[in-house]
Every structure is written in structure tokens, then in C-alpha cells.
Amino acid sequence: MEWVIPAAALLLLIWAVIIRRRLVALQQAAVHAWAEVDGLLRRRHDLVSRLVEAVRGRVARERKSLDGVMTARGRAVAEQAPAGIGKAEAVLSAAIGRVFEVVEENPGLKADPDLLRLQSELSAVESGILKSARHFNEAAREYNDARLGFPGAFLAYVIRFDLLQYYTVAEAKP
């Protein structure tokens, strides 16, 4: 009978280790998924800079639109949390749309192979961002579900596992 208490304590310890390992594994999966999104966002920001420079040299009268894109890009780069990044990226997308309108209005720009290539690359990166963001959100949801469910909630509270924010692209406000 004297072995019951140590055996119960050992089982409780093993249970806690298993739950913690699962939470850590799910958290790391979400971190790796976010790294993929982050890499694509950085690529997008680089392409936006190149697009603005390509257009700026040829259409001086549209400086306000181009400066707006660079300002929105700077805000998107500065954001840290996925939810804030999504909002900043929505504003950046709206600003990029205005640059593409400028390109469409100028026949010389519309046929430029460098701009067409940049537009194509940007479109491909944005598709990749959406795919990677879905993967991240699935990983974050799985982690958050494990974190909030029993017995994960108790252990997560004690060990201080925080909930993950989802990456959502909000509608841009003009």
C-alpha cells in the first residue's frame, strides 16, 4: 500500500510530460508554418520595393501613390503579431492595387516586360502567402485547441503556454 502514492505521483509526472511534449510539438509546428509565411511576406516586400522603383522612374506625376505604397510597406514590415501583420498587409495590397492602376493607365508601362515579370512574381508570392497562411492558421488552431482543452489547459496555465493569434487579412480601409 505504501507504493500507491509514489506510483500515482510517477503517473502524474509522466502524464504532465506527455501533455507538455504534445503542446511543444504543436507550438513548434505553428512556429515553422509562420516562418514560411514570414519568408513569403519578406519576398513580397522586396518585390513591392522593386515595383515602386520601376514605376517611379517612368511616372513622376504619381509620386503620391508610390509614396503611399512605400509607407504601407514600412508599416507592414514593422508589425510583429500575425493579426496586426494581416491588417497592415491589407493596406499594402490596396496601395499596390493603386500602383497597378497607374501601370494600366500608361501604355508604355503596361507593355514593359520587367513590370510584367514583377507583376507575375508578385502574384505568385501572394498565392503562396495565402496557402502558407492557411497552413499556419491550421497549425495555430490545432495548438490552441490542445492548449484550451482538458488536460492541456491546466498544464498550459501552469507552464505559461500562450495562445497563438491567427493570420487574417482584414479589408483595407481607404
CATH of residue 70: 1.20.1440.20
Structural domain includes residue 113: yes
Structural domain includes residue 169: no
Give the domain extent around 146.
4-159
Q: How confident is the model over 30-51, as a mean pLDDT?
A: 95
Instruction: Classify 141 as helix, strand or coil.
Output: helix
DSSP, residue by residue, 13-77:
HHHHHHHHHHHHHHHHHHHHHHHHHHHHHHHHHHHHHHHHHHHHTT-GGGHHHHHHHHHHHHHHH
pTM higher than the cut 0.85: no
Structural domain includes residue 174: no
The rounded mean pLDDT for the chain is 88
CA-based nearest residue to 172, from 96, 111, 118: 96
Domains: count for the chain = 1
Structural domain includes residue 172: no
Structural domain includes residue 165: no
Structural domain includes residue 145: yes
Structural domain includes residue 164: no
Residue 10: pLDDT over 60: yes
Structural domain includes residue 173: no
Q: Report the alpha-carbon distance of residue 54 to residue 59 in Å, rounded.
A: 9
Residue with cell 508599416: 75
